[in-house]
Amino acid sequence: MLERIAIQNFAVAREVSVDIPPGVTVFTGETGAGKSLIVDALAFATGARKGREVIASGAERARVEVTLALEGETRTVERAISRAGRSTARLDGAVATVDQLQQLGARLADIHGQSEQLSVLRPPVQRDLLDAFAGLRDTRERLSALVRELREVRRAVESLTTDARERERRIDQLRFEAEEIEAAALVPGEDDALRQEHTRLANSQALIEASERALATLDGSGIAEVIAALQDITARDDSASDLSGLANTLEATADELTREVRRYRDTVDEDPERLAIVEERLDLIARLRRKYGDTIEAINHYRTRAADELSALERSGASVEELREREEALVPQIADLAARLSYARREAARDLVGRVHEELHALGMGNGQLAVGFEVVDSAQGGVPLALPDYDRVDGGWHPAEQVDVAHREVGEAGADRVEFLASFNAGQEPRPLAAVASGGETSRFLLALTIVFGASSDPRTVVLDEVDEGVGGRAGSLVGAALRRLGERHQVLCITHLPQVAAYGDHHMVVRKHSDGAATWSSVEPVEEEDRLTELASMLGGVSDATKEAARDLLQAASSETSRV
């Protein structure tokens, strides 16, 4: 669950810090105040792609920090973006990637803004939601693994049964490449060592001359004269005794330096033959890098892959037979699992239809209905034999067909089914694809019904709803508010709303206010309770007056009464 969000210089927020309690928290405010600020900031903190346009005017960077409780642990996420467009992220203080933030966000929250609602209109997303609702993740993962294996087996068979000449050409090429790399006997890191040795050999004469100059100076009379002069000083002046110690140190250091320089000079040799060997070895490594990889590790890895492919091609006769046998074993396993997955989906869809209809009725859409379309398609080659109808439409009265002919069908990692949600908002109207009928307030309530039903079968998490009440007004707003309260019994709900009828159902109420000093404009987020909340609801009803305050009080009482009945 989300515990706290702190925002600095993000969009219209200069400095905003909000504690988020459990239950339903509603966010209201005047148009243009930035009510979606919390949604956008949370999305950014959990890995959403945003550019420097989110940085507040006049600021150098935007920063969002989120504290959350997840699986019994308190986690902290921090993400910032600078004017240069550079984004940084930290997870519990350690540097993190955007992928890590996205993975954490997927475990924490469902964010339903306009773009997220539109994603629900896509059939692949609908299939995923249905599988989660039905608890079919394990079955789907087992099927996915088998399908991937079958795909690899068939790809290997195709590779091994290509034209014999092409195979022989490939064998010759791989053998040459593997032998060339093996003959080189490359050792990781040797190129760096060779470059160092080459630099030393190429400069050996200069290094020897420099060493001789240093020794000549150290062996000369200059240092001895300095030491003698210092000793003469200290012998005549007791106050300069420190100079004697320094003179002794200089003498010892000069002796040690002389020994080390002499030792170093003795290790430097002018060796043209070794220099040529090193240059030849570096040229070989450079040539292999151009052909097989940027590093010695990559070159050796290429050799391993080439050897593996060579071995597979050389024993292709026996391998093809083994692969054919594995293919024959995989196909019935996939057919059985795909069929079970398909029927389990249809049964879950029938249950889903009933539950969604209950929620639609509670939302004042008793004539609304959901159906789920299932389509399977034939496979021109390499399909899986399945006894599934070409098309099924599952509603509350669906039953499996008594007899279906077996046909070879396409089966992917998600199974054989192409799933699509069908909706109708009016009595007597045939359900059509949800994407085709999505518009206005009815769609918002329909998507809310789906969110509530899917949420009832998922682990408690944070559900963020932005513009869920778009196109909704009056009595329907109260129904939406009551639905949010039901959702909040299991999940933490954050809802941005412009309807007082919805806002009255919040367990907690935050107001987003716009401020200006004439030079800049910014927003704040403040919790309101009791009289302040009454004033905010009255303002949303058309302006603060005795009449609107009384109406606001009635909304709060109605919301409280309905909650107590639940």
The 3 state secondary structure assigned to 306-365 is: HHHHHHHHHCHHHHHHHHHHHHHHHHHHHHHHHHHHHHHHHHHHHHHHHHHHHHHHHCCC
- Whether the Cβ atoms of residue 376 and residue 390 lie closer than 8 Å to each other: yes
Strand order in the sheet with 432-433: 391-394, 369-375, 418-424, 432-433
Give the helix/strand (H/E) hosting 408: strand 407-409
> How many whole angstroms separate alpha carbon 547 and alpha carbon 556?
14
- Among 65, 56, 77, smallest CA distance to 13 is for 56
DSSP secondary-structure letter at 179?
A: H
- Whether the Cβ atoms of residue 317 and residue 161 lie closer than 8 Å to each other: no
- Whether the Cβ atoms of residue 122 and residue 278 lie closer than 8 Å to each other: no
Along the 566 residues of the chain, how does pLDDT read in single tens digits?
A: 899 999 999 988 899 999 999 999 999 988 777 788 888 899 899 988 888 889 998 899 999 999 998 888 899 999 999 998 899 999 999 999 999 998 888 888 877 765 554 567 788 889 999 999 999 999 999 999 999 999 998 888 887 776 656 777 888 999 999 999 999 999 998 988 888 888 888 888 888 888 888 888 877 767 777 888 888 888 888 777 788 788 888 878 888 888 888 888 877 777 788 888 888 999 999 999 999 988 999 999 999 999 988 887 776 655 678 888 999 999 999 999 999 999 999 999 999 999 999 999 888 888 889 999 999 999 977 789 999 999 999 998 898 888 889 999 999 999 999 999 999 888 888 899 987 876 656 777 888 888 889 888 778 888 888 877 776 766 788 888 888 998 998 899 999 988 999 999 999 999 999 888 888 888 999 999 999 999 999 999 988 999 999 999 999 998 888 655 55
Strand order in the sheet with 462-466: 94-95, 87-91, 73-82, 61-70, 2-10, 13-19, 521-528, 508-516, 24-29, 492-496, 462-466, 109-112
> How many whole angstroms separate alpha carbon 46 and alpha carbon 227?
70
- Among 517, 508, 511, 505, smallest CA distance to 566 is for 505
> How many whole angstroms separate alpha carbon 70 and alpha carbon 68?
6
> How many whole angstroms separate alpha carbon 64 and alpha carbon 99?
17
**What would the two tokens of residue 497 be?**
């709303």
Q: How far is CA 105 from the centre of its chain?
A: 8
> How many whole angstroms separate alpha carbon 220 and alpha carbon 151?
80
Helix 123-134 and helix 137-160, axial crossing angle in degrees, nearest 10: 130
CA distances from 80 to 40, 55, 90, 179, 523 (A): 13, 9, 9, 51, 19
Burial class (CB in 10 A: 0-12, 13-18, 19+), 436: exposed
SS3 (DSSP) at 450: helix
Considering just the CA atoms, what is the radius of gyration of the chain in Å? Answer: 37
> How many whole angstroms separate alpha carbon 49 and alpha carbon 102?
10
pLDDT at residue 337, as a whole number? 96
Number of H helices, E strands in the chain: 19, 18
Q: Tell me the one-letter amino acid at 480.
A: V
Half-sphere exposure of 180 (CA within 13 A, CB side): 16
Name 407's bridge partners: 386
- Whether the Cβ atoms of residue 374 and residue 187 lie closer than 8 Å to each other: no
Q: How far is CA 15 from the centre of its chain?
A: 27
Domain coordinates of the chain in residue numbers? 1-118+444-451+460-566, 190-309
**CATH ID of 1-118+444-451+460-566, from 3.40.50.2300, 3.40.640.10, 3.90.180.10, 3.40.50.300:** 3.40.50.300
> How many whole angstroms separate alpha carbon 190 and alpha carbon 312?
31
**What would the two tokens of residue 338 be?**
């795909």
**What would the two tokens of residue 142 be?**
């087992």
> How many whole angstroms separate alpha carbon 9 and alpha carbon 15?
7
> How many whole angstroms separate alpha carbon 174 and alpha carbon 316?
15
DSSP secondary-structure letter at 53?
A: G
